[in-house]
């Protein structure tokens, strides 16, 4: 994937590609979106069948916010997650990736605790 807007063929899978990472959070999708808009100005949100897509002004996908019950991520089902942030992690130098890191930092205080054992 590139920093270009996705096509109709890739609209449902763009945020599951390797350049995206996932953060399950304990706030609902509306609160997560509020935090996102407070953290980074100039992003646009669009409701879609797969969640709310967050884009830069030039159309590059930065993140997708889903309710925990709408995500295919099984880890979200096994925690107290209310929503899930799929955010761009690669390429590191891309503007959309830098904005996504800011979003993650804003929401990481709400990250769900995992019961992983060492």
- Interval 25-50: pLDDT, tens: 999 999 999 999 999 998 999 998 88
Please, are residues 55 and 22 in contact by the beta-carbon 8 Å criterion? Answer: no
pLDDT value of position 72:
58
Cα separation, 56 vs 41, in Å, equals 9
Whole-number mean pLDDT of the chain?
81
Enter the pTM of the model: 0.78
pLDDT-based confidence at residue 2 (cuts at 50, 70, 90)? very low
């Amino acid at each position: 994937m590139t920093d270009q807007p996705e096509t109709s063929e890739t609209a449902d899978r763009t945020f599951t590609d390797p350049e995206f990472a996932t953060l399950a959070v304990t706030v609902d999708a509306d609160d997560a979106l509020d935090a996102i808009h407070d953290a980074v100005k100039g992003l646009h949100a669009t409701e879609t069948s797969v969640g709310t897509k967050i884009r830069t002004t030039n159309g590059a996908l930065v993140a997708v916010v889903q309710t925990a019950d709408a995500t295919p991520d099984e880890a979200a089902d096994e925690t107290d997650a209310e929503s899930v942030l799929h955010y761009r992690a690669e390429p590191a130098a891309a503007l959309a990736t830098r904005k996504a890191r800011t979003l993650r930092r804003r929401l990481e205080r709400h990250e769900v605790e995992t019961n992983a054992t060492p």
